[in-house]
Amino acid sequence: MQKNHKKQKKILLVSCILLLFLSLGTGNRYSVFWKTGKSAKAATAITVTSHKKFIKAIYKMALKREISGTFYYEGDSNDIFDGDIDQLLQEVCAIDKKTSSDADYLANSISTINVRTSYQYIGDTIIDSTLTVQIRYLETMAQLEAVNAGVEQVLAELGVEGKSDYKKVKLIHDYIVNNTRYQFGSNCYTAYGALLEGRAVCQGYAQLTYKMLREAGLSCYVITGQANNGSRTEDHAWNIVKVGKKWYYLDTTWDDPAGGEDVLRYDYFLIGSDKMDQDHAAFLGQEEKIVNVSRTNHKKWESLQEQEDDLYLYGFGL
């Protein structure tokens, strides 16, 4: 019995050596192994079995602001990821659980995303793949938590609960304009910069507006595109929000003119596409978001302009 066992081991060893020799002679790539489950390289990876599950796994990773994640796929990873990073990010941020931290907010919190793939072969056939995803963020997990706590506190102080949609938007618009300055800085592209540091550029304004509107129970989006201020055209970010049954544009950045004293305006508060399209143009790919925006301004827009003119006329400012 012992002799037979030794003989079997000897035959197996000779077979492996022969297989290795043949692979070197023909130039084919072989992995000589006994497959009992995942490869050693993928032992600690998260197993994904489809494109949809791969996207969902990255979504969860990004929500936690994890920098690196490893994913195992039994087969050729081209079945679940074709190498298009832009499409990958778009699909990850298309997942919208109606929270204030995913979808548009997440899309504008990611700086870069990279995917590296390694494979195991039998001959020329890929038998399994390991995908390493690396993400860089504009906002850390600690900063996101600080924003969430800060927004909760501010909304409580503003007393938005129980208010009409219009009143909620106005309270949030006024708070952001009155407490944020248009200024570049290390966190200027984030809601953290706008809320906790009081300075941001348009993306930071739009992110905080989105976060506060969502937390107040309103439907909204971040819109990216270009805007012309009369002298030049630049990349820009703003919002749309649903008030009652209608959608309107909202640009908190342009209602907070840079430089000089603090100014609160309503030039871009709940306006329609007829006015917005005069100097703002959304990038392609956002048609589904803006298609339902009202052509006309909110019914209270004119009265806000009159109120603004009266205050400036008598030197009170806003």
Q: pTM for the complete prediction?
A: 0.84
273: β partners: none
Q: Which of 25-34, 107-116, 234-243, 255-264 has the lowest mean pLDDT?
A: 25-34
pLDDT at 237: 98
Pairing of strands 181-182, 110-122: unpaired
Q: If pLDDT is split at 50, 70 and 90, which confidence band does 258 have?
A: confident
Structural tokens at position 204: 């930071």
Structural tokens at position 117: 């793939």
237: β partners: 224
Q: If pLDDT is split at 50, 70 and 90, which confidence band does 31 have?
A: very low
Q: If pLDDT is split at 50, 70 and 90, which confidence band does 310 have?
A: low
Would you tell me the crossing angle of helices 202-215 and 141-158 to the nearest 10 degrees? 60
95: left (phi over 0), alpha (psi -120 to 50) or beta: beta
Give the pLDDT confidence of 168-225 residue by residue, as tens digits.
999 999 999 999 999 999 999 999 999 999 999 999 999 999 999 999 999 999 999 9
Residue at 11: amino acid letter: I
Q: If pLDDT is split at 50, 70 and 90, which confidence band does 32 have?
A: very low
Which of 295, 298, 276 lies closest to 226 in space, CA to CA? 276
Looking at per-residue confidence, does 97 or 40 come out higher? 97
Q: Which of 8-12, 106-110, 226-230 has the lowest mean pLDDT?
A: 8-12
Looking at per-residue confidence, does 5 or 231 come out higher? 231
Q: Average pLDDT of 113-124?
A: 95
pLDDT at 44: 78
CB neighbours of 277 closer than 8 A, spacing ≥ 6? none
Q: If pLDDT is split at 50, 70 and 90, which confidence band does 148 have?
A: very high
CB neighbours of 47 closer than 8 A, spacing ≥ 6? 38, 71, 72, 73, 74
Asked if the model's pLDDT at residue 9 lies above 50, the reply is no
Give the pLDDT confidence of 280-300 residue by residue, as tens digits.
999 999 999 999 999 999 999
Q: Average pLDDT of 112-133?
A: 96
Quote the CA–CA distance of 278 and 289 in Å, as a whole number: 18
Would you tell me the crossing angle of helices 85-92 and 51-63 to the nearest 10 degrees? 70
